[in-house]
Amino acid sequence: MLDIFKTNKDKKKREELVLDKDNMPRHIAIIMDGNGRWAKQRKLPRTMGHKAGVETIRRVIKETHILGIKYLTLYAFSTENWKRPKDEVSALMRLLVEYLRSELQELNKNGVVIKILGDINMLPKDAQNEVKEAIELTKNNTGVVLNIAFNYGGRDEIIRAVKLVSNDVKSGKLNIEDIDEKALEKYLYTNGTPDPDLIIRPSGEQRISNFLLWQCAYSEFWYSNVCWPDFKEEHLHEAIYDYQHRDRRYGGV
Ligand code: IPE
Ligand code: IPE
Ligand code: MG
């Protein structure tokens, strides 16, 4: 049994969690992991796990909206995930296209702003087109900002930023003396999005896997053994509840 809530007593506790509306994380980032293991436990192909994971995405976006959390970042495909079998990679590309095709109107209606973190030029053409349409259609919305990290890697993001900075220095647009944290952040995919307050990783793994390396400097981490397709609203509440009982010191006292 993978669920961390093993007893009825724990179940009761999580239903009673009272969240402090004045201390909500502004930005939650989630490493959506465990789809493959979820499928394996059910003797299903891994791709069925990815499909099941899409349902969790719907629930989590809705709950984010209800809770009034402004920024949600979902890690959907890493720069290392290209190493997977070709069939699985294609299935993940297809899922992105299907997801945007089926959800875009609804997301737009609910004011969601869709952004992509990662280099989309490496994606199949149809996926690139869906992504561009989603970004364009939702760019003036004012609701939840949904960052989909797709073909995203933290190191890749930093290398890209270094190249962009170098170009601007070379062309005289930027002085070396003016390079500080604020200036560098403008060159990251996350430009305009505050650092994640809370990073959630389901599936039992406790590592960062190249996610938001720059941005996670002072993020709070929350792990759960639940696989992503089984991740429910109550797990999100539990993570936020824990977050609200931590003492964020940022190096101070
Ligand atoms: C997360 O689930 C989805 C992606 C990385 C695309 P996994 O596919 O990594 O699932 P596990 O870790 O093998 O269970
Ligand atoms: C991280 O999960 C990437 C995504 C969830 C998109 P992985 O399953 O690829 O990470 P590792 O290989 O377990 O570190
Ligand atoms: Mg995994």
- Domains of the chain listed by start with CATH number: 26-242 (3.40.1180.10)
**Whole-number Å distance between alpha carbons of 248 and 253:** 10
Which has the closest alpha carbon to 232: 62, 108, 70, 20?
A: 62
**Whole-number Å distance between alpha carbons of 41 and 2:** 10
Please tell me whether the overall predicted TM-score, pTM, comes out greater than 0.85 for this model. Answer: yes
**Whole-number Å distance between alpha carbons of 178 and 188:** 16
Which has the closest alpha carbon to 144: 106, 199, 182?
A: 106
Q: Please tell me whether 84 is known to bind a ligand.
A: yes
* Catalytic, out of 20, 23, 33, 178: 33
Please give all residues whose beta carbon lies within 6 A of any atom in ligand 1, as ranges: 32-37, 77, 81, 92, 203
**Distance from Cα 64 to the centre of ligand 1, integer Å:** 22
User: Per-residue pLDDT for the chain (253 aa), expressed as one digit of tens each?
Assistant: 334 334 454 555 555 789 999 999 999 999 999 999 999 999 999 999 999 999 999 999 999 999 999 999 999 999 999 999 999 999 999 999 999 999 999 999 999 999 999 999 999 999 999 999 999 999 999 999 999 999 999 999 999 999 999 999 999 999 999 999 999 999 999 999 999 999 999 999 999 999 999 999 999 999 999 999 999 999 999 999 999 999 999 999 9
Put residue 25 in one of left, alpha, beta given phi > 0 → left and psi -120 to 50 → alpha: beta
Residue 141 among the catalytic residues: no
Residue 197 among the catalytic residues: no
* The two structure tokens encoding residue 229: 């397709």
Write the pLDDT tens digit of every residue in 229-252.
999 999 999 999 999 999 999 999
Q: Please tell me whether 36 is known to bind a ligand.
A: yes
Which has the closest alpha carbon to 38: 235, 236, 233, 229?
A: 229
Q: Please tell me whether 78 is known to bind a ligand.
A: yes
> Which phi and psi (to 5°) does residue 76 adopt?
-110, -30
